[in-house]
Amino acid sequence: TEKGKHTISHALNIFSICLYSQVAPTVQTVEGNMPPSYEEANAGTFSWDDMYIRRVFIRKVYSILMLQLFSTVAVIALFTFWRQFPWNLILLTIFTLSMACMLGFISSFYNTKSVVLCIGITATVCLCVTIFSFQSKIDITSFQGLLFILCMVMFFCAIVVGFVVPFGYVSIQKYK
């Protein structure tokens, strides 16, 4: 039993050494054949004068840039070539759901009460702009329409903050 445990342990060690040597090259460090730690890697041996480091950096930067450009071209193609009836609604739905997921992830890092207040202010401003666009002869895309929207944002923010902060619904703290 003891010899069997020793044999299994030895086999696992050999397997991990083989696996490690195939996945990542070994680097000579002070401790032995392990990759350098953060302190060792930043101990001053790094230099932009090394052509290999510069080439790898340039490859990574331009690879990321090309991926961004390809994704931008794909989005432009979607919105340019698929402007027919079913595709515009499908793309609008996908865009709306992705924005909702993104805002959900971002708002999970903030206070829930603050997020609910922001959603309430946004919904109220959208309702006012919608009512304004139905009732007014002023073009909502003109400067007067933009001024109206900005005034509504300031007005509703002032009302909400005026009632919320004094009653302690959301605490105002200075973060250090």
Contact 120, 160 (CB under 8 A): yes
Mean per-residue pLDDT, 81-87: 75
Residues 102 and 129 reside in one and the same domain:
no
First-last CA distance in the chain: 59
Q: What is the pLDDT of residues 121-154, one digit of tens each?
A: 999 999 988 888 888 887 888 888 889 889 999 9
Expressed as residue numbers, the domain containing 97 is: 47-109
Helix H or strand E encompassing 87: helix 85-107
Task: For Cα atoms 71, 73, 75, give the angle at the middle one, nearest 5 degrees.
Answer: 70
Integer Cα distance of 11 and 56 in angstroms: 36
Full-model pTM: 0.48
Query: Looking at beta carbons, which pairs linking 77-82 to residues 24 or more positions away fall under 8 Å?
Result: none
pLDDT of the residue at 7: 54
- pLDDT higher at 132 or 45: 132
Mean per-residue pLDDT, 94-111: 88
Residues 122 and 174 reside in one and the same domain:
yes
Mean pLDDT of the chain: 76
Residues 117 and 173 reside in one and the same domain:
yes
- Confidence band (pLDDT; 50, 70, 90) for 9? low
Tell me how many domains the chain contains.
Answer: 3
